[in-house]
Amino acid sequence: MIATTAGRPAPARAPLDLSLYLVTDTALCADVGVPGTVAAAVAAGVTAVQLRDPGATDAELVALGREVRAALAGTCVPLLVNDRVHLVEEIGADGAHVGQGDLGINEARALLGETCLLGLSVQQPDHVAVALEHGPEVVDYLGVGPVWATATKPDHASPGGVERVRDISAASPWPCVAIGGITAERAALLRGTGAAGIAVVSAICGQGDPAAAAARLRRAWEGR
């Protein structure tokens, strides 16, 4: 458990397994649907799900989020909402994930309360240092990337490669999940970097068989 700067233990939050983290894409999931994709992928090894649909209205995202939450019922797999922290409670999600240009982590934590999960995207070690200024208890994990270029987020920062993941993981008191251009073939390159897991979008959402894709990624991450 991470200690606060005052020496007190951080608030107890749900355990978080970042081994295989799925970020949803509504367009890529069109054939199967987001809830169906999530259900199939979780059954095959996905350990955390982030709901992301920047083109949806708040009402649309709440409706979709509730469907995904229902698909996750009984799995113990957490649901995190990308960016729109104010919708977490309405969806019934377990927390949120914010980027460098989104709501600040102090503001996000204030909206979420002490028991919800909060993730933060970082692209360089300096971002870790800035986050630490707010206290190590404010966030629960870091999303590190993009590792490689990816078409699912055209405006992404410059890819940092495997070494950037290694550097940020070494600098971070929080578990890190690598994201950006990750495939089953590339997953092995990230083992040994200190990352706690891998995050993917199109490697599951863009596949005809999400369950098979998730199983392949999980085996690759675990070296099986």
Active-site residue 166, yes or no? no
**Is 193 among the domain residues?**
yes
Catalytic entry in 52, 84, 216, 218: 52
Candidate list 121, 164, 216, 218, residue with the active-site label: 121
Q: Is 109 an annotated catalytic residue?
A: no
Digitized pLDDT (tens) for each residue of the chain, 224 residues in all: 333 434 444 557 878 999 999 999 999 999 999 999 999 999 999 999 999 999 999 999 999 999 999 999 999 999 999 999 999 999 999 999 999 999 999 999 999 999 999 999 999 999 999 999 999 999 999 999 999 998 776 666 789 999 999 999 999 999 999 999 999 999 999 999 999 999 999 999 989 999 999 999 999 999 98
In a domain, 144, yes or no: yes
Domain that holds residue 48: 20-222
- For residue 110, being part of any structural domain is answered with yes
* Domain presence at residue 12: no
Q: Which of 69, 84, 109, 153 is catalytic?
A: 153
Tell me how many domains the chain contains: 1
- Give, in order, the Cα–Cα distances in Å from 14 to each of 35, 140, 158: 22, 10, 32
Taking CA atoms, 67 is separated from 16, 35, 70, 145, 210, in Å, by 21, 6, 5, 28, 17
Residue 5 within any structural domain of the chain? no
211 occurs within a structural domain: yes
**Residue 19 annotated as catalytic:** no
Is 148 domain-assigned? yes
Answer whether residue 209 is part of any domain: yes
Domain with residue 130: its CATH number is 3.20.20.70
